[in-house]
Amino acid sequence: MVKKRSKNEAKRQQILNAAIQLFTEQGFAATSMELIAKNADVSKQTVYSHFGNKDELFSASIENKCESLHIFDFSLNDLTDPHTTLFNFAKAFTEFITSKEACAVHKICVFESTAYPQVSDLFYRAGPLRLTKEVTLLMEGLHQQKILCIENPKHAALQFLHMMKGELWMQIEFNTKERISSDEVDEYLRDSVAFFIRGYSF
Amino acid sequence: MVKKRSKNEAKRQQILNAAIQLFTEQGFAATSMELIAKNADVSKQTVYSHFGNKDELFSASIENKCESLHIFDFSLNDLTDPHTTLFNFAKAFTEFITSKEACAVHKICVFESTAYPQVSDLFYRAGPLRLTKEVTLLMEGLHQQKILCIENPKHAALQFLHMMKGELWMQIEFNTKERISSDEVDEYLRDSVAFFIRGYSF
DNA sequence: AAAATAAACTAGACAGTCCAGTCTAATATA
DNA sequence: TATATTAGACTGGACTGTCTAGTTTATTTT
């Protein structure tokens, strides 16, 4: 008869939190298990007891983060005013993809995509792929309600999402010193939404 | 009387080549100076004599690579047929940004942008910034020749370039297993060029 | 053109540091 | 009572950067 005492779930989460923070800040190779244990306020042995080795912990921490990043709620029911709807969505999207958290996970997943394709796949599915699918549905809706004339909704979704990235996203990606102002960002988004609607109007 | 013998330029280049290859393949932390020396067919001491330490070698190798990646020649003189001009440019652009070399440098510059902002800045200026400026000029040309109606040529350039990235670029970035076919890419590019022209036509 | 010289280069050893992962022995807890 | 947890020692290995001692090579002087 095996008596099994369950491992402390709180500690597990502490470890995952410390791990994702360090991994995203310093990268996989530059982060030591010892520091993760210390930051998680847990002994090194506990880390190894919860996660067999560094690779497993890395995968688990990315997976954990991807799940928590799923929360990007956009209520796009009101399609009657596409300008406002799309602009608001564009703003929310920009804020999301330029957030510290999202950028950090994005960065490490891309970087480790050759060594850990399964990890980067997690992010791809949870992020870009999921979002593209949702926006594709939105585009289909705009077409069916005769608000816009969108023959290929997937292409339109890709065009829209990529377009909205703009200059700010690049500057954050490359950590440049100068950053464009949020006014300029807004102007770019407004311009782009207007352009998008013009390009897909009847 | 100072006798100065210049260091071997060929060896310097061998070191830089080996360094950029390993750094882009394995990352900064995971690449050892010893292996760089070995791959460059040079002694470790020679590496240290040419480049004081690992950081310096890293910077130098990225700088060297950025210079060689400058070569993205697009002859965009013939503006009379914007569909063809923009499509050809879009194709060349896609091929360039999805090339192994460009992707690899992009990846490491983004990843090391916090630890080495000067390095990522090199790439940003040599790549995205330079290209955006050139395409902005193209957009101005299209406007002045009354081929398209582009009020804000910089926005148009950003929209165009970002839009063209599309799905393939994401799949390469995340190293996904499935890849869209080059036919699909062509279709996307054609669609996007048509959409772009529609959105900016008089 | 030959000899002299100073610097570049090589190979390898080396010190010092760090890290992944294991082991142990003691403690806490369900 | 069995298992989770802890702190810390420990192994084996890798890495950076230095040092040494000997070799090659470009340049300057004779």
Which of B35, B100, B119, B163 is best to mutate for the A interface (most A CBs within 10 A)? Answer: B163
Please provide the average confidence, as pLDDT, over all residues in chain B. Answer: 92
Comparing A54-58, A74-78, B167-171, the range with the smallest average pLDDT is A74-78
| Residue A145, CB, strand C, below 7 Å | no
Pick from B25, B107, B165: CB nearest A162:
B165
**Each residue's pLDDT tens digit, A165-191:** 999 999 999 999 999 999 999 999 999
Per-residue pLDDT band for A8 (boundaries 50, 70, 90) equals: confident
Reported as a pLDDT band with limits 50, 70 and 90, residue A135 is very high
Which of the four pLDDT bands, split at 50, 70 and 90, describes residue B1? very low
Q: How far does the CA of A46 sit from the C1' of D8, in Å? A: 14
In Å, what is the separation between the CA of A54 and the C1' of C29? 28
Give the pLDDT score at B80.
Answer: 77
Phi-psi region at B72: left, alpha or beta (left = phi > 0; alpha = psi -120 to 50): beta
| A174 touches B: beta carbon within 8 Å | yes
Q: Is B37 left (phi over 0), alpha (psi -120 to 50) or beta?
A: alpha
Q: What percentage of chain A reaches a pLDDT higher than 70?
A: 92
Q: Averaging pLDDT over each range in A120-129, B2-11, B72-81, which range is the top one?
A: A120-129
Cβ-Cβ contacts under 8 Å between A and B: the total is 118
CA of residue B51 to C1' of nucleotide C6, angstroms: 21
Report CB contact under 8 Å: A159, B121.
Answer: no
CB contact under 8 A, B124 and A174: yes
Quickly give B40 CA vs D4 C1' distance in Å. Answer: 51
How far is residue A60's CA from residue A64's CA, in Å, rounded to a whole number? 6
Considering CB atoms only, which of B110, B158, B188 is closest to A167? B158
Encode pLDDT of B156-182 as tens digits: 999 999 999 999 999 999 999 999 999
Residue B77, CB, less than 7 Å from strand C?
A: no
Is the CB of A55 less than 7 A from some atom of nucleic acid strand C? yes
Structure-token pair, residue B65: 């690579």
- Does residue A73 carry a pLDDT above 80? no
Residue B75 reports pLDDT greater than 70: no
Query: Rounded to two decimals, what is the model's pTM?
Result: 0.91
Q: Which residue has the higher pLDDT, A166 or B6?
A: A166
Domains of chain B, earliest start first = 7-65 (1.10.10.60), 71-199 (1.10.357)
| Closest-approach residue (CA) in chain B for A110 | B174
Question: For residue A6, is pLDDT > 70?
Answer: no
Q: Is the pLDDT of residue A3 over 90?
A: no
Question: Minimal Cα distance from A192: which residue of B?
Answer: B159
- Label residue B69 by pLDDT band (50, 70, 90): confident
pLDDT of residue B181: 97
